[in-house]
Amino acid sequence: MDVATADEDDPFEEQRENAEDPMRRLFVEYGGENRRAFAVGLLSSVVARVLDLMPPVLLALAVDSIFYDERPFSIPLVPEAWLPATRTGQLYLSAGLIAFAFFGGAAFHWTRNWGWNSFAQHIQHAIRTDTYDKMQRLNMDFFADKQTGEMMSILSNDVNRLERFLNDGMNSAFRLGVMVVGIAAILLYWNWQLAIVTLGVVPLIAYFTYRFIKTIQPKYAEVRSSVGQVNSRLENNLGGVQVIKTSNTEDFESERVEDVSQGYFDANWDAIGTRIKFFPALRVMAGIGFVLTFVLGGAWVLTYQATGSAPLFFSGELTPGQFVGFILFTQRFIWPMAQFGQIINMYQRAYASSARLFGLMDEPSRIAEDPDADELVVSDGRVVYDDVTFGYDEDEPIVEDVSFEVDGGETLALVGPTGAGKSTVLKLLLRMYDVDEGRIAIDDQDLRDVTIPSLRERVGYVSQDTFLFYGTVAENITYGTFDATREEIVEAAKMAEAHDFISNLPEGYDTEVGERGVKLSGGQRQRISIARAILKDPEILVLDEATSDVDTETEMLIQRSLDELTEDRTTFAIAHRLSTIKDADTIVVLEGGRIVERGSHEDLLDEDGLYAHLWGVQAGEIDELPDEFVERAARRQARIEATDD
């Protein structure tokens, strides 16, 4: 049986197939550091269980020697001379030992739970943080391929399943293991013939439980998947409630929610139907074992006492104490057998989960950092793109043969229709992706030869998607420059024209921005991220539509501060409004991933090509781009989308 596929889809099937047993790896890589907790858990499980088994044994002995004269009062390993001679004395001693077993048992139950919990908690903490650490360092194309929900599920559900197995699963496995072996040994020792009757139902129960797990598992998978559908539907609808209202689609959405909710109901009802039959059936089997033991054992005691021989096909003696012991153990033994199925189930889920976690940890990185990489040293800030070609999909280049040079302190603007590859060109400078061909260098250092942190430290990036983190305005401005003082923050905000609106917020710089900054407008978020870049004070600045979300008036204000900011700094700018970049030292015009024009604003106007036409449209001089440009852009986009599929 392939246990790893017993669970839902495995997004890392490929890596998993080549990997060693993930559970083994889990214990090797994470168990070692926690071996003390493991040892405490394991030893305590054994001792606690042995102590648990003592009272019924002592009771059986007491019945035979104190209440009936079946055998002399004796305790293994203790010399007879030390034992009390009177029956009352023997009773007190037995009671004392039983009390000792209970209290000692309690102490070991405690250390046992401490051990397993500590083992599970440390491992889940370590594996979650390791996986997260690895995940956020993976390339951007990894995140483009996988859904956030899928990643969240690995970091939360899979880690939680491992934790459950390491804690409850291991705990129960050892508890049950010791109990089954211990009780079977005692019963067989007392009376192997009756023991066979009693233990006879065990394989039956084990098989039945196993069948049950096999039947219910796919049903539970169905339940989980339908819960997922309900959640995504609800999340989507609550997030898009404004669109629902304005589109008047409340009834339509209510129906869609009802549909997925009905799906969950049906899946759950199916699983419930199977589950509620299981325990009664188990009770019947346990009952058969119990009744058989009781009838046959009882008849044996009576017959033996009356005739001195065993009934039916049995032979030898069964004492009343042993009979009591059998009944007590049968009670304790059969019922928890049902847990074996659960343990197997937990193990299978943990196996699949750790396969997914390790699959993620083994995910190869397309951007591999050279182990001998040096820190980037920016002296001048000169950036060179040399015949750069790159595609998200290696077969379909998005930028081709792009070459340009920007001297330290100069500004280069990238212009071109949407989809021309402008953002892509700049993402390559931050090494979000590596070039497929050609090279990019800063002050003659190839980006692939420098460490990624040192590169991103010196290149500041303000993009069109301004993502703010949950936290205060000040925390968002200092994000990445954590040691800034309040004065520096305010100074940066003033330069980004953000100080005024921040001061008007209820708690000024300490106002919470809400999840993803929802409490702020797009323009306000953008100004905060500009302040963030100003505070970081990088040698090279990348402005990817940095002012796209602000109104013209604010844009002019920010532009003034950006001019100041970019004055002595190598700057790359993409701007929707060409007026904001017309003073750039060089303007590079991209079309279909290739540079089609370059020069200053005036040069390009004289050239009367794409730039001049774009400018004409924005200045209101011509109504629209000539068809040839529009058609070329549309053809290219269609081609890219076709390769994406």
Which residues lie near ligand ADP (CB under 6 A)?
144, 392, 398, 416, 418-424, 637, 640
Within the chain, what is the greatest distance between any pair of CA atoms? 124
Residue closest to 353 by CA, chosen among 153, 79, 557, 507: 153
Q: What angle do CA 508, 478, 131 make, to 5 degrees?
A: 125
Q: Which is nearer to ligand ADP, 141 or 317 (CB)?
A: 141
Nearer CB in complex with ligand ADP: 111/637: 637
User: Across the beta sheet with 437-442, what order do the strands follow?
Assistant: 399-406, 383-390, 437-442, 445-446
Q: Shortest gap between Cβ of 244 and ligand ADP (angstroms)?
A: 28
Half-sphere exposure of 490 (CA within 13 A, CB side): 8
State which residue, 16 or 422, has the beta carbon closest to ligand ADP.
422
3-class DSSP assignment, residue 595: strand
Strands 459-462 and 540-544: parallel
State which residue, 244 or 432, has the beta carbon closest to ligand ADP.
Answer: 432
Q: Which is nearer to ligand ADP, 424 or 586 (CB)?
A: 424
Nearest CB to ligand ADP, comparing residues 105 and 419: 419
Per-position DSSP letters for 283-331, written without gaps between them = HHHHHHHHHHHHHHHHHHHHHHHHHSS-STT--S---HHHHHHHHHHHH
Shortest Å, Cβ 352 to ligand ADP: 29
CB of 447 to ligand ADP, least distance (A): 18
Instruction: For the CB of residue 466, give the shortest distance to ligand ADP in the complex, in Å.
Output: 16
Q: How far apart are CA 200 and CA 222, in angstroms?
A: 35
Classify residue 113 as exposed, middle or buried by CB count within 10 Å of its CB (0-12, 13-18, 19+).
middle
Q: Over 77-97, what HEC string results?
A: CCCHHHCCCCHHHHHHHHHHH
Q: In this structure, is the dihedral angle defined by the CA atoms of residues 124, 125, 130 and 135, taken in order, positive or negative?
A: positive
Q: By C-beta, is 127 or 414 nearer to ligand ADP?
A: 414
Nearer to ligand ADP, 87 or 639 (CB): 639
Which H/E stretch holds residue 446?
Answer: strand 445-446
Query: Distance between CA atoms of 438 and 385, rounded to whole angstroms?
Result: 8
Least separation in angstroms between residue 465's CB and ligand ADP is 11
SS3 544: strand
Beta bridge partners of 450: 374
In total, the chain counts a number of residues equal to 645
Kindly tell me which of 430 and 493 has the beta carbon lying closer to ligand ADP: 430
Q: Residue 145 or residue 255: which is nearer to ligand ADP going by CB?
A: 145
- Smallest gap from Cβ 463 to ligand ADP, in A, equals 10
- Cβ at position 151, least distance to ligand ADP in Å: 16
Q: Minimum distance from CB of 637 to ligand ADP (Å)? A: 6
- Token output for 106: 């309690």
- Report yes or no: 459 and 452 within 8 Å, Cβ to Cβ: no
Pairing mode of beta strands 437-442, 383-390: antiparallel
Q: How far is the CB of 640 from ligand ADP (least distance, A)?
A: 4
Q: How far is the CB of 416 from ligand ADP (least distance, A)?
A: 6
Pull the structure tokens for residue 439: 């090279």
Radius of gyration of the chain (CA): 37
Question: Cα 42 to chain center, whole Å?
Answer: 28
Q: Rounded to whole angstroms, how far apart are CA atoms 453 and 459?
A: 10
| C-beta closer to ligand ADP: residue 41 or 419 | 419
**Amino acid at the residue 539:** E
| DSSP structural state of residue 437 | E
The least CB distance from residue 551 to ligand ADP, in Å, is 22
| CB closer to ligand ADP out of 293 and 463 | 463
Closer residue to ligand ADP in complex, CB, 23/633: 633
Q: Alpha-carbon distance 572 to 564, whole Å? A: 14
Of all helices (H) and strands (E), which one includes residue 390?
strand 383-390
- Smallest gap from residue 108 Cβ to ligand ADP (A): 56
DSSP state at residue 468: -
From CA 331, how far away is CA 286, in angstroms rounded? 8
Is residue 476 helix, strand or coil?
Answer: helix
Number of Cβ atoms within 10 Å of the Cβ of 429: 19
Q: Which of 422/431 has CB closer to ligand ADP?
A: 422
| In the complex, minimum distance from the CB of residue 425 to ligand ADP, in angstroms, rounded to a whole number | 7
Pairwise CA distance, residues 249 & 240, whole Å: 11
The nearer residue to ligand ADP, 294 or 392, going by C-beta atoms, is 392
Closest separation in Å from C-beta 578 to ligand ADP: 14
| Least Å from the CB of residue 645 to ligand ADP | 12
